Amino acid sequence: MNIDQANQSAVEKMISAKPMLKGVATARDVIPGMKDNLILHAGPPLTWARMSGPVRGAMIGAMLFEGLARSEAEATSMAENGEVEFDSCHHHGAVGPMAGATSASMKVYVVENIEHGNKAYSNLNEGYGKVLRYGAYSDDVLKKLRWMNDVLGVALADALAQTDGIDMRALIAEALQMGDEGHNRNKAGSLIYLKTIAPLIVKVVKDDSVAAEVLKFIGDNMLSVLNPVMASCKAMTDAAHGVEGSTIVTTMARNGTDFGIRVSGLGEKQWFTAPAQIPIGKFFPGFTQDDANPDVGDSAITETAGIGGFAMAAAPAIVTFVGGTPEDTMKATLEMYQITTVENANFQIPALNFRGTPTGIDIRKVVETRIAPRINTGIAHKNAGVGQVGAGLVRPPMKIFEDALTEYSKKYKS
């Protein structure tokens, strides 16, 4: 078996994938294996006992949102007694930023890779501030979630139903020409999304003041498009999974306790995990590095697909948010070419003379170069209910790539 050929095949699938944002639907109706007493979380599978503060907070919030519990105490007790189930978003074709809390009643984006037929899902983005994904679950947070589900989600569903889908590959490509990297900076992508969907929303939402509110919410939230982008990256990377003999990473995800990866030529639920690191970054006024929770969120699916931290050179302005200098953004992308397999011509970086983004992390190269992938990330407060405290950069522990390579060697006796 030729590993390089297997990797080319896997990466070819990732790159040729054509993710289309097809619709918005209720999670229980579309997400495989979704159940009323199941709450999905980001990252590799995790028990309640090992969950960090913000992830517990988000799970509590989701239980309150679903009406599974009526108070924090009741939710905690149910979780401790196993009366509610938790599972990894990734085991259900889904991804969610930060805690990734996704429950049965929530509206989710439906992305279909029309090249290979697989689908992926992601919840709706709440914007900045006190939000469920950072572990906040106050009445205000739940009220906003209900508005998002009943008003925003319905508007998006009705609007998208008027289309054949939004070409997310084209959207990401254009956003990278406009200073986004697609993970921590989605200003341009969110506006392209607004531009595409605004005329449709106006047609399907009958109440003018509601339509105005929906357009304002999408337009003012610079992360509006993050979740469809993540689902698109999930659809791309899932297409690359399961190629016999491939050493390409098809998932990187964090649950606030562990960092986990999956590899194309290894099992679908075979995670390689180690304790998640604490991101280094810029903190909002009043917070410091000491407040930071270990790395959390499925959003590293963007880096897995070759954007985000891998496309930092496209987004020099991001340093005002994550720290460092514009020169660092160039270095970050250039470094990632050393651990990846191809340059994705669909996603070009103007400042690198339109070089394609570094795509297809090879666990062999990571172990050999000792260069771990770079991930742009938001930083959650370590306590439940506080929210985001900053943004920065993080790398996965080297050990998980070594473990994956060991397992690969066993399986393929190479």
Q: Which residues bind its own copies (CB under 8 A)?
A: 177-179, 187-188, 191-192, 194-196, 198-200, 202-203, 206, 208-209, 211-213, 215-216, 219-220, 316-317, 319-320, 325-327, 350-354
By C-beta, is 129 or 354 nearer to its own copies? 354
Give the C-alpha separation, 63 to 83, whole Å. Answer: 11
By C-beta, is 209 or 288 nearer to its own copies? 209
Using the 8-state DSSP alphabet, how is residue 278 labeled? P
By C-beta, is 30 or 197 nearer to its own copies? 197
By C-beta, is 63 or 175 nearer to its own copies? 175
By C-beta, is 156 or 194 nearer to its own copies? 194
Q: In the bound complex, what is the minimum distance in angstroms from residue 412's beta carbon to its own copies?
A: 42
Determine the 3-state secondary structure of 388 from DSSP.
strand
Give the C-alpha separation, 279 to 187, whole Å. Answer: 22
Give the C-alpha separation, 414 to 406, whole Å. Answer: 10
Q: Which tokens in the block code for residue 210? A: 């509601």
DSSP states of 189-224 as a string?
A: HHHHHHHHHHHHHHHH---HHHHHHHHHHHHH-TTT
Give the C-alpha separation, 370 to 413, whole Å. Answer: 23
Q: In the bound complex, what is the minimum distance in angstroms from residue 178's beta carbon to its own copies?
A: 4
- The answer to whether residues 408 and 265 touch, using CB atoms and an 8 Å cutoff, is yes
Q: In the bound complex, what is the minimum distance in angstroms from residue 325's beta carbon to its own copies?
A: 6
Q: In the bound complex, what is the minimum distance in angstroms from residue 309's beta carbon to its own copies?
A: 17
For the beta sheet containing 166-167, the strands, ordered from the edge strand earlier in sequence to the opposite edge, are 94-95, 119-123, 107-113, 19-26, 166-167
Q: In the bound complex, what is the minimum distance in angstroms from residue 411's beta carbon to its own copies?
A: 44
Q: What backbone phi and psi angles, to 5 degrees, belong to 114?
A: -75, -10
Give the C-alpha separation, 124 to 26, whole Å. Answer: 11
Q: Which tokens in the block code for residue 133? A: 């994904």
Determine the 3-state secondary structure of 279 from DSSP.
coil
229: nearest Cα among 146, 125, 352: 125
For the beta sheet containing 38-41, the strands, ordered from the edge strand earlier in sequence to the opposite edge, are 85-88, 38-41, 102-103
Q: In the bound complex, what is the minimum distance in angstroms from residue 13's beta carbon to its own copies?
A: 28
Longest Cα–Cα distance of the chain, Å, equals 64
Q: In the bound complex, what is the minimum distance in angstroms from residue 198's beta carbon to its own copies?
A: 5
By C-beta, is 2 or 209 nearer to its own copies? 209
By C-beta, is 108 or 172 nearer to its own copies? 172
By C-beta, is 37 or 320 nearer to its own copies? 320
Q: In the bound complex, what is the minimum distance in angstroms from residue 282's beta carbon to its own copies?
A: 15
